[in-house]
């Protein structure tokens, strides 16, 4: 999965994914935090807190080969006034950290094993897009994913899907038509129904 083309295009793909996910998180602020989401065990508050933590705070630290601060793991970001603006500022920091070539070089220690930094970045982009879509659906929005980002996420889901299913990160694959878009195929392979409604 780690290619020179990915390293070259990766920062732009991450920036595009982050921009759209920040938009839908902001627009979801007026939706009830108890709203249903495509993640069966999570309401919107839980989904937002997961998305905020992993796509901004953790994403920034991963660029430096570090883990997110332990005290953030159980924080309710949505309970704080101005959490939307704080998330926008923090996801901008993550994008900036990954805009530097050295962030994409070498390996990182993930759960005791060496993982290429570019693969970690690809999984972060996937996380931004998939959970951004979850937030959008839960709050009655459309998630706009351009073709290049969709293809990147599809490649990542294809490469990592079995591992994510093994750890209950993805549900079972959802059937889609043969002519489904790359984005819908990525959603389906991650266990999401592209036509999900609350």
Identify the domain containing residue 48 by its residue range.
4-143
101 in a structural domain: yes
Q: What are phi and psi of 40, to 5 degrees?
A: -55, -35
Number of alpha carbons in the 13 Å side-chain half-sphere of residue 174: 17
Task: Flag whether 8 is in a domain.
Answer: yes
pLDDT in tens, the chain (198 residues): 444 445 469 999 999 999 999 999 999 999 999 999 999 999 999 999 999 999 999 999 999 999 999 999 999 999 999 999 999 999 999 999 999 999 999 898 776 778 899 999 999 999 999 999 999 999 999 999 999 999 999 999 999 877 777 777 788 889 999 999 999 999 999 999 999 998
Domain count, the chain: 1
- Alpha carbon separation from 175 to 14, 107, 132, 172, 189 (Å, rounded): 27, 35, 21, 10, 8
For residue 33, tell me if it sits in a domain.
yes
134 within a domain of the structure (yes/no): yes
Give a yes or no: residue 11 inside a domain: yes
Residue 82 lies in a domain: yes
Please report whether residue 104 resides in a domain: yes
Q: Which CATH number belongs to the domain containing residue 28 in this structure?
A: 1.20.120.450
The pTM of this model reads: 0.93
């Amino acid at each position: 999965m780690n290619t020179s083309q990915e390293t070259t295009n990766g920062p732009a793909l991450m920036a595009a994914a982050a921009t759209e996910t920040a938009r839908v998180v902001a627009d979801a602020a007026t939706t009830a935090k108890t709203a249903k989401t495509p993640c069966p065990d999570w309401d919107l508050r839980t989904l937002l807190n997961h998305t905020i933590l992993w796509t901004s705070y953790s994403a920034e630290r991963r660029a430096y080969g570090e883990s997110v601060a332990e005290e953030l793991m159980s924080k309710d970001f949505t309970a704080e006034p101005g959490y939307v603006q704080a998330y926008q500022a923090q996801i901008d920091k993550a994008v900036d950290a990954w805009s530097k070539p050295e962030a994409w070089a070498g390996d990182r220690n993930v759960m005791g094993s060496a993982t290429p930094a570019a693969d970690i970045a690809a999984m972060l982009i996937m996380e931004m897009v998939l959970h951004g879509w979850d937030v959008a659906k839960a709050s009655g929005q459309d998630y706009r994913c351009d073709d290049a980002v969709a293809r990147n996420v599809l490649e990542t889901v294809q490469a990592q899907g079995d591992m994510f299913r093994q750890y209950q990160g993805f549900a079972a694959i959802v059937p889609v038509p043969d002519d489904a878009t790359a984005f819908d195929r990525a959603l389906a392979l991650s266990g999401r129904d592209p036509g999900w409604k609350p």
